[in-house]
Every structure is written in C-alpha cells, then in structure tokens.
C-alpha cells in the first residue's frame, strides 16, 4: 500500500505480476514514436512559496524571500507570449504556502484573494483574455480547490514523482505520495485532462519506478484523463549534489513508461534536462514546452533549448516535429473542457486562429 493513501482516501493498488512485467522491460522491447510533439508556452511561476522543502528543488524560496507575480506581470508575460505565437500559459506553484509565508498571505489579502488558488483563477482568466490557454501545475489540490479553477484551465498537472517515501522529500514538512495520487484522482473525478510524471534519481528503487507508473496507469484506466507522463531526471543544482541518473537508467525507465502506459498517453522527457536524442528510440513522443519569452523557473540553471534544438532531436530520430496545444487533441471537446475554454478555442480572433492553425497541423 502506498504511503498516505488511507489518509487521503484514495484507493490505488498495483498487481505484483504487472510490477514484474514492468521490471523486465528493456529499451529493445519498445518502438520509437513516428512523430514528436511540443508546445509553445510562457512560464508563469505564480508563487515561489511552498510548504514543502524537497532537497532537490530550486523552485521554492524560503519565507521572506518568496514572491508572487502581480496581475500586471501576468498580463504582460501573457501578452508577450501571445505576440510571439505561444498557445499555453503554464502556471506553476510550490505547494500551498503555509503559515510561515506571512507576506505572501498579506499580498494575497491586498489583491482581494483568500488563497493562492483563488488568485490562480484570476490569473487563468487574464491568460484567456490575452489569448493563451491556461495549463496550471499548482501542486496538490483538494477536490474543492480544483473545482475553483477547473473551468478556466485547458488542462492541469502535478508530478507524482514517486509512490515511495524517499529521504529527498524528508524533513519536518514532507509531501506524501497519497496526497499526490489523490490530486491525480481529483482531476479524474472532475474530468480534467491531466499531465503527471515521475522524477528519476531521488532515492527511489526500480520497483518504486514500476509501481509509480502502474499507479498512474490505474488512475488513467479509471478516469481516462491522463494525457501525458513526464519522465524527468533529477539534476544537480545549488540544493542537490547527488547527481543525475545515467543515460542507461533513463533509457530503461523511459522504455518502462512506454510499455506500462497505454498508447494514448504521451511520454515526455524534458530536453532541457537531458539529451533527448539518447532516449528518442525508447518510446518518447513529446518534447514538452519551449518558450521564446520566459526562462524555465523550475530549473533555472538549464535553459530551454531553442526550437532549433527540438528540430535537431526530431531530425536525429528521423521523424516529423509537430506543434500541439497544452491539451491533447482527444480532449478538445465538451466532454472534457468548459464552455469558457471551448469558446476561447473557437474564438474568431487572433488567438482562436493560432489554436486552429496548431490543431490543423497535428
């Protein structure tokens, strides 16, 4: 049983035979994709406050140093992104700022919001107004918190990272696998297209990797809402000095993800964190987001590759590179999206034209 699933009342189990099958997968067992996709986005770290202190993470700033994007900053970045041809506003959080972040709560108060999730709703509305589709990655969310932003997002995401309890999540404030699984389940209950992923190299075992992927598969089987799984290597930075997984490890994990997950679920490796050419024959079919406007605030030491570099990966693989929207094509309908987002997709304006052009090419 995964740690914390009782506390969060989420029912996920995996079959031991499936674990054994996943552990047996090698790169030669999976086929390369016949196309690679990517999205053009702007990156909006709504707050760098986080109630947790994961030891590999450079995203969060401690209390007193954490920031909150202003309405004006959000609008300006979205406007620049739309002008540069982006389609996605990628909002990220740390997890809910806790009581220690007094100044963040005071700023939210001044903005007239009770919580960061309330502010996220307004931020998403700004993005829609400026001609971008919001995709929010706001850490863990309760069913109610998700309900508050569901109709203004084209899709949501949170990294599962691992179903194991690892030292890297340790300390007095430690995130719990059950809470993450519950967030993924909540998105399924709301019928929201969802992106998740695993983090490789934070102390998890091969069995943990297999179980994490199988847990994601189980939730997707239940709700059909998982659009993409990111297989992300941990990287050295100012807080993490334990190194990254080897190329051989990444090749095997990516192949395991491809073999475990249904074909409908995309597998992505972030090409700013490893050379995607090394895993392109292991079943990845997506290269994530590329931004002409903002840095990758989650991993600021690793610049996003230019579009040209993504093209080089596709050339190396001998497959076409296709732009996609933040939400995958099969979810772009009334079953999955709100009237508000569907209206944005079909709007007779420049933004609608950008979305239609991207969809026509996929």
Contacting residues toward ligand SF4, per CB under 6 A:
50, 52-54, 57, 59-60, 94-95, 139, 175
Q: Is the separation of the CB atoms in 56 and 240 below 8 Å? A: yes
Residue 57 Cβ vs ligand SF4, minimum distance, rounded to whole Å: 3
C-alpha–C-alpha distance, residues 328 and 160, integer Å: 20
Least CB distance from residue 102 to ligand SF4, whole Å? Answer: 18
- What is the chain's percent helix, strand, coil content, to nearest 5? 40, 15, 45
Q: Least distance in Å: CB of 59 to ligand SF4?
A: 4
Q: How far is the CB of 222 from ligand SF4 (least distance, A)?
A: 25
Q: Where are the beta strands (DSSP E) in 113-235?
A: 133-137, 155-157, 194-200, 226-233
User: Judged by CB, which is closer to ligand SF4: 104, or 255?
Assistant: 104
Residue 105 or 252 with smaller CB distance to ligand SF4: 105
Count the Cβ atoms, other than its own, within 10 Å of residue 240: 18
- Rounded to the nearest angstrom, the gap between the alpha carbon of residue 287 and the centroid of all alpha carbons in its chain is 12
Cβ nearer to ligand SF4, comparing 50 with 215: 50
CA 275/CA 280 separation, integer angstroms: 9
Distances (CA, A) of 130 to 46, 126, 226, 344: 17, 6, 27, 10
Provide the minimum distance between the beta carbon of 101 and ligand SF4 in the complex, in angstroms, as a whole number: 12
Tokens of 307: 């579009």
Q: CB 138 → ligand SF4: shortest distance, Å?
A: 10
Give 51 or 359: the residue with its C-beta nearer to ligand SF4.
51
CA-to-CA dists, residue 308 to 35, 199, 246, 304, 312, angstroms: 16, 26, 25, 11, 6
The residue among 95 and 220 lying less far from ligand SF4, judged by its C-beta, is 95
CB nearer to ligand SF4: give 80 or 115: 115
Q: How far is CA 71 from CA 78, 96, 150, 164, 227, in A?
A: 11, 19, 20, 38, 30
């Amino acid at each position: 049983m995964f740690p914390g699933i009782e506390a969060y009342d989420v029912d996920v189990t995996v079959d031991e035979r499936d674990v054994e099958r996943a552990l047996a997968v090698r790169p030669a067992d999976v086929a390369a994709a016949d196309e690679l996709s990517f999205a053009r986005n702007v990156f909006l770290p709504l707050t760098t406050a986080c109630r947790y202190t994961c030891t590999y993470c450079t995203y969060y700033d401690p209390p007193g140093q954490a920031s909150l994007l202003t309405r004006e900053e959000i609008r300006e970045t979205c406007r620049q992104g739309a002008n540069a041809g982006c389609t996605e506003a990628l909002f990220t959080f740390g997890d809910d700022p806790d009581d220690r972040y007094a100044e963040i709560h005071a700023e939210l108060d001044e903005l007239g919001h009770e919580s960061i999730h309330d502010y996220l709703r307004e931020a998403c509305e700004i993005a829609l107004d400026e001609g971008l589709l919001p995709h929010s990655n706001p850490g863990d969310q309760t069913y109610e918190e998700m309900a508050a932003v569901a109709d203004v997002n084209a899709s949501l995401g949170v990294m599962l990272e691992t179903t194991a309890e690892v030292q890297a999540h340790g300390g007095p404030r430690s995130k719990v696998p059950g809470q993450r699984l519950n967030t993924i389940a909540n998105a399924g209950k709301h019928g929201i297209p969802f992106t998740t992923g695993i983090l490789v190299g934070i102390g998890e075992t091969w069995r943990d990797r297999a179980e994490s992927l199988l847990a994601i598969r189980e939730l997707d089987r239940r709700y059909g809402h998982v659009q993409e799984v990111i297989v992300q290597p941990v990287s050295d930075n100012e807080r993490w000095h334990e190194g990254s997984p080897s190329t051989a490890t990444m090749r095997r994990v990516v192949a395991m993800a491809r073999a475990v997950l249904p074909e409908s679920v995309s597998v992505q490796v972030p090409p700013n964190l490893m050379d995607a050419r090394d895993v392109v024959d292991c079943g990845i079919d997506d290269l994530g987001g590329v931004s002409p406007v903002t840095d990758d605030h989650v991993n600021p030491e690793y610049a996003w590759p230019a579009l040209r570099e993504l093209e080089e990966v596709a050339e190396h693989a001998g497959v076409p590179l296709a732009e996609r929207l933040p939400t995958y094509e099969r979810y772009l309908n009334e079953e999955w999206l709100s009237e508000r987002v569907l209206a944005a997709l079909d709007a007779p304006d420049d933004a609608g034209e950008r979305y239609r052009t991207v969809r026509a090419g996929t």
